[in-house]
Each structure stands twice: as structure tokens, then as C-alpha cells.
Structure 1
Amino acid sequence: MRGGLTFKLSVLLACIGVLASGATGYYAYHANRAMLVNEAQRSLLTSTELLGQRIAFSIDDAASDVLVLATMPSAVSVAQTDDGLVASAGRERLAQVYSSFMLHHPEYLQIRLIARHHHGLEVIRFDRDKDGIVRVEGNDLQEKGQFPYVFETLAFSPGRIYTSSIMVNHEYGTHAAQGKPTLRLGTPVADANGTVVGVVVIDIDLDDMLKRLQSDLPSDYRVYLANEWGDFLVHPDASKTFGFDRGRRVLMQDSFPVTKPLFEHTQSEVLANGLARPRQAAGQVLAFVRRPFGGAEGNRFIVLGLAKPLEDVLAGANQLGTRIIRMVLVFSALSVLLAILFARAVTKPLHLLAYAATHLFAEHAMNTLPLKRTDEIGVLARCFDRLRREIREQMDVLHSKQSELTHLATHDMLTGLPNRMLFMQKLESSIDEAKRRREGLAVLFVDLDRFKQINDQFGHSVGDKVLVTIAGRLRDVLYSADVVARLGGDEFVVLIEGPRAAQVTPATAARILEALNETLVIDGHSMTVGASIGISEFPHDSGNAEELLLNADAAMYAAKSGGRCAYLRYRDLLEARLDEQADGAEKAAKNGFARARAAENAADGASESAVEGREAEPTA
């Protein structure tokens, strides 16, 4: 059952059912995730745009307040009045108005009326500290003419609004405003002739304004705000804000590379999420928009962004995923059950065919075939029955052809003798058997002496008939246990096995020579072939099949060179070579002794001549 078709089909159908339900659940789960993320992106983008509009409206409201304060009739007279010791009633009424604005706008850190004369001297100034609103008077009023929000605003025409960059307030003596992110709005104060006599400046607490604007945002939203250069002005991590003020700039386009098009003015809004872009928005869903900042005063803008944790966005998808897993498990179990039932119904007739196939030539197995069925199974069963009969006929033919091919592969086609491959296999197996029984064997290498002349004189047809006749004579003179094979050309080889190998080998070689020296009559032509035989023996000459054949070949060539129609054993060849070497050594020794005697005689003669010479010298 485990390895059968029923099992495999059950597994296949079950897998299809499980995969179908699993794929459906997987697609639904991922589609839901993508839908939730897209919905979260749209929601964040909408919230970001609304927050941007609120910021713009808040700034516009503050600008309206600045214009209201600058156009009050008493503002001109107060700005033009010298800072005498006695404060005018108009100044006090105007101060009460400033105080009321500070009271009703908690995000305002300072409201000031700064006169044009006396280097931009503050005329009216209200600050905010931890205890409430503080009016600065007398000698505590400062000259502000050197600050851009004063000298630039003085150059404006009446009704225009100066908007500063968002920065950290480092002016001395600003009470609670010092060290806070601050946005300054200013507008000129002009008399009836349009002459600018002073400016009204409101400092806005950016943190407080954003907190109020974010009050209705979900608690898990994170707010990011950057200026036109990318410096973070608002960040969930306060240490990353206003980096330019601390000498270490932290840029939005570095923290969120997806926002680069906003600063390059190629896009006005971008979206990113950790599901599609895990590297650019790790674990978050992000929405950023670029909004103009500061009205018509240059190409200034801010980039505002909102982020929401991806985990919160996908919380609903995770719950759906749990339900999908349960649903997939239920449908998978149902699929397995239905697959098993369906597989058994389909494969039952196939089991009958399989049993008949495993008992192909058993008649009782054929009785189980569903031959009478009219469907595809019945057609298959009838085809199988016809195929079985044809296979039986073809197998009989195949066995016959296989026997012929085996014989052709291992026998010489001309003579019918075993060829070299079969002989070497037989020789190797005979050597192993001889080693086991501790017996000997002999190899006779037979080479025809005059076959080439016969072949050249009478042609290849006569030569082939000579080889067939020689093969027949070799079979006739050998025992039935001996093996004769044709190696190729006019070379034959004989294997003699068993304990009689050493005794009968020379006699067998002699019988072969005698048989091959007899005259042959082929196609009316009389001829004598003759042969030379080399003999090698196991284990004396070698224990290897190839070496035995080579040694017999060497002995045959030695026999042929010594005179045709002869045989020679390889051991006799070795002994003859050793004797020749010994005779050569003896002759060399004798020649050396003779040369030594001659040298000695020559030395004696030289000595006698020297003596005679010395005896003759006094006489001279």
C-alpha cells in the first residue's frame, strides 16, 4: 500500500487539495496584508496632508494676529513715541491687548512691538515663563535692530508677513522661550503716510503648536518634520532634532532615503512601507509630503511625515492568518479523506492489471483481467492481453538472437574458434582455478610459417579456406578438454589445463607441427603451410595471463628464427640465453688472461733491454 499507486494517487490528490486550500489561504492572507498596508498608507497620507494644513492654518492665524496688532491705531503712536519716563495711556491699552493675546494663545512665547528708532528698541514686550505671562519693562527692554526679523521686516511694505526659519531660540533673557524651537512672524507698523515706524513680532512655540495639532492623531503615530535642507525639526527621538544647532546635522533624506525626491522637487509626496521596502522603512508605514513654507518669501518648504508601526497595521492580518490556518487544516483533512476514497475507487482495476503484469506468463493471472469492461480499463486489459502474447513470441526470438550475438562476440567468424577476448577470459579463470588446485597449465602460441606467401600467391579467398582447414586440423589433434582459439591473422593459441599439462605439452606441440606440415589441397592447389610454436607454462614462466601469452609469443619468435616448423619452450629459451651469457663471460676471461700474459712478457723484455743498456755505457 505504501509504495503502490493507490498510496501515491492518494498523496497526490491530498497534496493538490492541501496546496489548493493552502494557496488560497496564503493568497488571502497576503492580499489582506497588502490591502491593510495600502489602506494605512492612504490614511497616513491623508493625516499628513491634514496635519500640514493645520500647521499652515495655525501659522496663518498667527500671521493674522500679527497684522491685527500692527494695524491697531495705537501701535503707530506707541512706536513713534520716545521712550520717556512717562508711559502714555495708549501704550498701556496696547499692552493689555498684547497680554490678552498671550493669554488666549498658549503657543505664543513672546509678543513684541519694536520701534524703528533707537536701534530697534523694544517698546512693548510680553514673555512667557513657568509661572505665566511676564511683561518686560524699563531697562530690561532690549535693542533688536541687528536681528533679521527686525531689519528685514522693516524693509517690507505694510501688510507683508516675515516668516523666520524654524530654529532654537538663543536670545538672552527670553524666559521660557530660551532653548525652544521657535518660529517668528513679523510685520511692519506703518503710519498714515505708509512710513514704517516699527514692527510687531510674535514668537511661536513649535513644540506646543505641534502637540496641540497632534492631539487628535492616534497615539501610535510618529511625527517627523524637516526644513528645506532636511534637518530634523521634529523627531520621536529628541536627540536627532535641530542637529545644526548642536554641530551634528541629522538629515531626513539620510534617515529615510525614500524622501530624496521631495528635496529634489521631483515629487510632492512619497509613501513607503516595511512590507514592500524593508530597507527603507524597516517595520513602519511612512507617508511624507512637501509643503510650501513662509508664503511668498522665497522657495522655502517643510517636509512633514507620519509613521505607524507595521506591527500595528498588520494586527488584523495576523488574526485573519490564524483563522486561515484553521480553515486550511480543516479543508486539508477533508481533502486527504476524499483523496483516499477516490484513489481506491480509481486504482482497484489497475491493481488487477498490475497483478497480471507481475505474473505475465501465468494463465491464472490472465483470468483476473477485466476484459469485459467497456471503459478505458477494459480496452487497456484487452490490449495488455494481446501484448502479452506478442511479448512471449518476441522473447523467444530475442533469446535466439541473443545466443547468436553472444557467439559472434566471443568467436571468430571465419573459423568458428573462440576469439582473443574469450580465450583471455578462459585463461584468467583457468589460472585462478590452477592456483586454487595448485596445478599447472600451458599456453601454445601457434604461428603459420608460409601463410603470407600462400595468401599473396593464391589470394585471400584461398587464404581464408586454408585458415578454416588449419582450424579443423587443430581441433582434430587436440583433446576435447583443450582449448584452441584464433587470435587474428595466421596466429592461433592453445590452452592445456590440468595435471597432464607438463607431460603432454611437448607431445601435443609435435602433433600440431606434424598435422600442419601435411600437404593441403585447396581449389586444386597443393601447398604446405607449416608452423612455429612457442610454449609458456604456469606457474613456472608467469602467473599472469597477459605475460603467459607474451612469453609464448616470444618463444614462438625464437623458434621461428632458429628454423621453421619447430617448437620451443619459454624456459628453454631463458636457459639458452643464460648459457650464452656464461659462454661469453668465459671467453672474455680467457681473452683477458692472454692479454695479461702478453703485457707481462712485454714488461720483462723492456727490463732486459734496460739492463743491457746500463752495462754498455762504461764501455762507451
Structure 2
Amino acid sequence: MLHRGLTFKLSVLLACIGVLASGATGYYAYRANRTMLVNEAEHSLQTSTELLGQRIAVSIDDVAADALVLATMPSSVSVAQSDDGIGTNLGRERLAQVYASFMLHHPEYLQVRLITRQHHGLELIRFDRDSDGLVRVQGDDLQEKAQFPYVFETLAFSPGRIYTSPIAVNHEYGTHAAQGKPTLRLGTPIADVRGAVVGVVVIDIDLAGMLRRLQSDLPSDYQVYLANEWGDFLVHPDPSKTFGFDRGRRVLMQDSFPVTKPLFEQRQSEALVNGLAGSGEAAGRVLAFVRRPFGGSEGNRFIVLGLAKPLEDVLAGANQLGTRIIRMVLVFSALSVLLAILFARALTKPLHLLAHAATHLFAEHAMHTLPLKRTDEIGVLARCFERLRREIRAQMDALHSKQSELVHLASHDVLTSLPNRMLFMQKLEIAIEEAKFRKEGLAVLFVDLDRFKQINDQFGHSVGDKVLVAVARRLKDVLYAGDVVARLGGDEFIVLIEGARAAEVTPTIAARIMDALNETLTIDGNSLTVGASIGISEFPHDSGNAEELLLNADAAMYAAKSGGRCAYLRYRDLLAARLEEQAERARELANAQLEQTRAPRDAIEGREAEPTA
């Protein structure tokens, strides 16, 4: 068992080391791969976000260039300068064809308009987009727009500058497909040869359409976020969260993604966050945000653009690697278990021999298998074990001898070699249990020597000890083999008689003991007569308890001694005598009380008799 246990434990330990080593290596490789993939995804998203921001800026610059081209055309100047707001029909129609051509080549354009400075900013040329294509607005449908910022602010610009409006939902009446859509407006002044601004060219851009075109090259699992400088979502995967300011319920990017707060405070230009780091705002995703200036050099306006990718897609490669790592760990774990078992068996084989010799310490055949001839530490240990075994064997023999002697001394009287009080009480308790089981009786005889004190005082302790030895010998001679005799201490002995014969032979045995102890003893040339008083208690009549039986026998012995030495007395007889004595006292008391009541009665009768005489 020792060999098996040690081999098993050592095998488990070595196997665990191997499994933990391979498992830890695989685990950290898996974790490192996950971290590397997330970092790579963050870098890729950041790059894509910056490129998308640049493409948005380039697209807006292209729209601004188109607006400049239209504004600098001579026909645009002549149409805008016409006093009646109409200009020559031929020039106006040619310019309208140019505007229509721009609309056809740019599907993200919702409106292109030429607005004159005169007539309260009247629209002179206007093309809208609807579900059927282009719509040219003419005649009475043309509107005055001088009250709109994209008109009066642009008119205040110098030629060549570009006005960029805030991104907002178009609520202007009659704008066809543009109505209700997120719109970005770019405007530029129309100036005559003297540099005086005579009108503006305004292009309305479908922001959602432009972003769809720009993000067409992005992977399909990318999500796009766009917010203005106040944090209002302009683009969000959930359309219900966009343009909240237009519906009276603002949803801010810095509230949804606290990591973007430094971007809106203009303390940072980019931010990264991922769900692998346990961030609640990026649960299951990797996100990158950048802040980009918006509207050229006009004001301090900017947008915050963000891209997100599902963490599951990012970690797809890591999960495949994790599966391969698990397989490798299982293979190496099985190999480490096999090697651990082989190594443990080779290492514990000599220890098994020593363990076998230890469990068969005094068997000579076990010693022959010890590796006594080995020159390594195992051989030294085996030779030391052999020497130790021989010494232990000698010590064990001596110890057994001493132990037997101590056991005897602990339970027997040193002087007489009789059982002592402890051993006697143990035997008595066992005898009571057996008597209860067999429904039999037993008797306890308490023997006290009558003249031992005088002998001890007159002849000395040496003679007294020899008297006690002689008494013990005579007690054993008069008792049967199954009876128990013990010395309680001093000159007190106790006898136990078991079985069905206890009630019958107890008085006989008590008489034999008294006769034996009344015989003269010759000790050191001195003739001595000891004598004894005996008290007897019986089970179950007197008690069912060992201590009570002993106490009752002791009480009977003292009663016998007080009534005259060299006598024996049963405890039941002692009780009967006490009851008789109590009855006699009761009768005497009753007679005394009767005499006391008779005396007054006689006196009364005497006094009544005298007058009659």
C-alpha cells in the first residue's frame, strides 16, 4: 500500500506539473493571441476611421469645388445680375443644363440652386431630386431664401470662400426627396467682374447617401457612428438614436461612449476601446473614434467619426487557435501522465522494498530483498535500516518484558500478588453483567483482620507484611478455582463468589475463611493468631451496582466486628436487625405514650369514687 500510494501520488504530482505546464503555456498563448488580434483590430479600425474621415473631407471638398465651378461660370454671373431675376432665357437654359448635368453625375446631390442677391434671395435655377429622377422647379414654385443662413451668411463671404452648414434634417417645404433627410449644404458666392457678390450657388448633399458610398469599401460587419461637435448622433446603427435634437430627445455620443469625452473636449483626437478589457460601453465590440475638423477653416467645428467591429469576428482566429491548443494540451498531458507513471515507478521501486521490509520488520525473508549492495543513498538507507531493525528488535524484547511487568503491577498488589481494588472492581462489574444475562446471583465477602494492628505494632512491619502474605495464601487455599480474592489495602481483603452456588455456599465459605484465619501462624518463630470479621452482600438482593455491593459488604463487616470479633454477617441480616430494632423502639414509644394517657384517666376516676363512698 505504501508503494502504491507513493507511486500514485508521485505520478499525480509529476502529471499535474506536466499538464499545468502545457496548459499554462497554451492558455497564455491563447490569451496573447486574443490580445494581439484585438490590438490589430483596434489599429485597423483606427486606420479605417481616419481614412473614412479623410474620404468624407475629400468628398466635401469635391462638392465645394463643384460649387466653385458653377459659381465662377460667366453665365451664372449674368443670370444672377439680371434685374428682373429672369435674365436671358437662352443663357439661363444653358446654365440649367449644366446644373442638371452635375445632378446626374452626383447621385448624392439632393438640390442644386442658383439664388440671386436681389428679390429677397429668389431662386433662379433649382433642380431637386425625387423618386423618379430630377425635377426642375420653375416659375411660381421658385422661392425666396434670403432668411436662411446658407443664403445671407454666404452672401457675406468674399468670392472663393465656401459656406458649410450644420448637418441637420431638411424641413424646407417642397424639397421633394430631400425633405426629412439628413442634409449638408455647401454654398459659395457669385461675384461679378468688380468682385461684388450678386448671388450664391447652394448644393444640398444627402449625408446618408454620401456615407453609404464612402463606406462601400468597408467590411460588411463594420458599424459607423457619426456625431457633430455637440455629440448628437448623426449616424448610428440604430436609426432611432440619430438626430435626436430634431425630435426633442437628444442622444449624445459621449453618454453612450464615455471614452469619447476627451474628443469633444478637444483634449484628444482619437480614442480606442474594446470589450475584451471588460468595458461595459464596448460589450462584445472593438471601437475606434477620431475627431475631424469640419467645414474647412470656417469656425471651430468638427465631427467625431467612429467604427465598430464585433469582437466575435475579431477573435474568430483566436478561437480556432484555442481549439488547436486544447488538442495539443490533451496530447501533451497524456504524454506527461505516461512519463510520470514510468518515472514514478522507477523512482519508488527501491522505496517499495524498504516499505515492505518496514511492514515485515522482524521477518528475515523481507531483509534479503533490501538493496544493501547499492552504493547510492538508497543503499546507505537500506543498511541503516537493517542496523536499526536489529536494535529495535532487541529493544522490543526488553520492552515487552517490562510492559508485562508493569501491567501486572498496575492490576495486582505488590506484596501479596493478589488483584488490587481496580482489577477486582473490573471483574465485579463484568460478573454483574454476566449474572444479569444468566439471571444468577453472586456474593461479595469483605474480610477485615481483627488483630493485625496489634501484631504490626508489637512485632513490626516486616512481620506484619509476612502475616499478610500468609493470609493471602490461606484465602486462596480455602476458595474454589473460579472464586476471586483481592487485597483492597492494609488488612482488608475482598472475595467474589459467582454462579448459582453463591447463595448456598457463601456462609460455608465465610466459616471456612474464619477457621483458616483463626489457626495459629508461625512467623519468624512467633506464634500468631490473626482472626477476621466478614461482611457479606449479595446480588441482586442487596444491590445491582458494584460500588454499592462493596459498600454494603463493608457495612456488614463493621456490624459483625462491633458485635464481637471473629464473626460474619450478611447485609440482609443487618437490615433485618435494624428493622427489628426500629420496630422495638416504636413499640416502646407507643407503650410510653399509652402510660402517659392512662395516668390522668385513673386520677379522674379516683376523685369521682370518693363522694359515693
Bin of the TM-score, shorter chain as denominator length: 0.7 to 0.9
Secondary structure of residue in 1 paired with 2:287: strand
Partner residue in 1 for 2:40: 39
* 2: CA distance, partners of 1:575 / 1:595: 30
CA drift of 1:139 comes to 1.4
Pairing partner for 2:547 from 540, 549, 562: 549
Secondary structure of residue in 2 paired with 1:126: strand
Matched-pair contact (CA < 8 Å) for 2:188–2:201? yes
Secondary structure of residue in 1 paired with 2:304: strand
Partner residue in 1 for 2:602: none
Secondary structure of residue in 2 paired with 1:3: helix
Secondary structure of residue in 2 paired with 1:372: coil
Pairs within 5 Å for 1:230-379: 230-246=231-247, 249-253=250-254, 255-256=256-257, 258-259=259-260, 262-263=263-264, 267-277=268-278, 279-295=280-296, 300-379=301-380
Partner residue in 2 for 1:176: 177
Partner residue in 2 for 1:498: 499
Partner residue in 1 for 2:436: 435
One-letter code aligned to 2:321? L
CA drift of 1:535 comes to 6.1
* 2: CA distance, partners of 1:447 / 1:295: 130
* 1: CA distance, partners of 2:235 / 2:135: 28
Matched-pair contact (CA < 8 Å) for 2:86–2:124? no
Secondary structure of residue in 1 paired with 2:4: coil
Secondary structure of residue in 2 paired with 1:207: helix
* 1: CA distance, partners of 2:195 / 2:585: 145
* 1: CA distance, partners of 2:399 / 2:238: 88
Partner residue in 2 for 1:605: none
Pairs within 5 Å for 1:113-262: 113-154=114-155, 161-189=162-190, 198-246=199-247, 249-253=250-254, 255-256=256-257, 258-259=259-260, 262=263
Partner residue in 2 for 1:538: 539
CA drift of 1:44 comes to 1.5
Matched-pair contact (CA < 8 Å) for 2:373–2:379? yes
Matched-pair contact (CA < 8 Å) for 1:474–1:512? no
Aligned residues: 583
* 2: CA distance, partners of 1:160 / 1:493: 134
Residue ranges of structure 2 left out of the alignment (5+ in a row): 519-529, 599-613
Deviations 1:301-343 (A, max 9, x none): 4332222233332333333334434444444454455445444
* 1: CA distance, partners of 2:19 / 2:29: 15
Secondary structure of residue in 1 paired with 2:306: strand
* 1: CA distance, partners of 2:69 / 2:413: 126
* 2: CA distance, partners of 1:538 / 1:156: 133
CA drift of 1:189 comes to 4.9
Matched-pair contact (CA < 8 Å) for 1:49–1:289? yes
CA drift of 1:131 comes to 3.0
* 2: CA distance, partners of 1:223 / 1:143: 37
Secondary structure of residue in 1 paired with 2:185: strand
Distance 1:360 1:113, change over 3 A: same
Distance 1:63 1:354, change over 3 A: same
* 1: CA distance, partners of 2:180 / 2:387: 102
| The 10-residue stretch of structure 1 (173-182 or 272-281) with the greater mean CA deviation from structure 2 | 272-281
Partner residue in 2 for 1:601: none
Matched-pair contact (CA < 8 Å) for 2:447–2:557? no
* 1: CA distance, partners of 2:391 / 2:14: 36
CA drift of 1:7 comes to 5.4
**TM-score of the pair, normalised by structure 1:** 0.74
Residue ranges of structure 1 left out of the alignment (5+ in a row): 518-528, 598-620
Deviations 1:254-283 (A, max 9, x none): 555554554565654333334332744343
Distance 1:86 1:217, change over 3 A: closer
CA drift of 1:385 comes to 1.4
Q: CA RMSD for the aligned pairs?
A: 5.2
Distance 1:75 1:85, change over 3 A: closer
Distance 1:351 1:245, change over 3 A: same
Matched-pair contact (CA < 8 Å) for 1:477–1:511? no
CA drift of 1:175 comes to 1.4
CA drift of 1:180 comes to 2.0
| The 10-residue stretch of structure 1 (41-50 or 468-477) with the greater mean CA deviation from structure 2 | 468-477
**TM-score of the pair, normalised by structure 2:** 0.74
Secondary structure of residue in 2 paired with 1:381: helix
Distance 1:365 1:144, change over 3 A: same
CA drift of 1:40 comes to 1.8
Deviations 1:176-225 (A, max 9, x none): 21222222233455667776654433221112211221122222322222
Partner residue in 1 for 2:63: 62
Matched-pair contact (CA < 8 Å) for 2:115–2:201? yes
CA drift of 1:433 comes to 1.9
* 2: CA distance, partners of 1:306 / 1:367: 81
* 2: CA distance, partners of 1:121 / 1:581: 147
CA drift of 1:388 comes to 1.6
